Amino acid sequence: MISFSGIDGAGKSTQIELLKHHYDAIGRKYHVIWARGGWTPGLEVIKNLVRTDKGLDAEAREAYRKEVHASPRKRKILLIGAILDLYWYFGLYYRFLNIVKPNLICDRYIWDTYADWKINYSEYNFEKWWIWKLLLRVIPYPKKSYLFMVSAKESAVRCSTKIDDTFSSEEVRQGKIDFYHELAKRNKWTHVIHGDQTIEEIFNRVKGALNHED
């Protein structure tokens, strides 16, 4: 199990693609999976079942979304539901994949979700909730984990051409970067790689760490 983490534009997708090409070249099987807490399949099914904005136009759906997130009670229920959903998705499904799929490559993992939620649900100290603490005990952890870091300005430049950029300001980007730095100091990744190197240099570090494991 290998994980790739970092702020948008840090180079995760590029390095995953290079690793896939490398594994293809040497005939090694692999499986890539992407997930972010709050966007897992099980939670999406539940949200679709309880949503009341079906059939509305885009403007009305956006108004409905804002109404939901304006309610502290509904926001807390959403966060609790998202955490509980990770028990089966990360705790069971990922564990199963890690057993049956050789070289499981995770595009984002638990600490990316933590950084997301510290920004999006800043009013809650969810990391002190027992359901979060227990979650961290039941999920599998990768043998090799990479955190890719760039500055907030560089992230904005790299994401300027992406249609799925989810950050609204450099301040938000910087806040998330700060959380990643905090987690890196707590050794949540086996390797922290800064984006001031070339793509080839970064991939050599990724591949070198994996070859060392072999």
What average pLDDT does this structure show over 106-118?
96
Query: Residue 56 — very low, low, confident or very high, per pLDDT cuts 50/70/90?
Result: low
The yes-or-no verdict on residue 44 having pLDDT over 90 is: no
**Cβ-based neighbours of 127, under 8 Å, separated by 6 or more:** 114, 133
Q: Considering just the CA atoms, what is the radius of gyration of the chain in Å?
A: 18
Q: What is the CATH number of the domain that holds 7?
A: 3.40.50.300
Enclosing domain of residue 103: 2-213
Average confidence (pLDDT) over 5-19 = 93
83 has a pLDDT exceeding 60: yes
DSSP-derived 3-state class of residue 101 = coil
The strand ranges marked E within the chain are 2-6, 31-34, 104-107, 144-149, 191-194
In terms of pLDDT, which residue wins out, 195 or 112? Answer: 112
d(CA 183, CA 200): 26
Domain count of the fold of the chain: 1
- Six token digits for residue 56: 């509305």
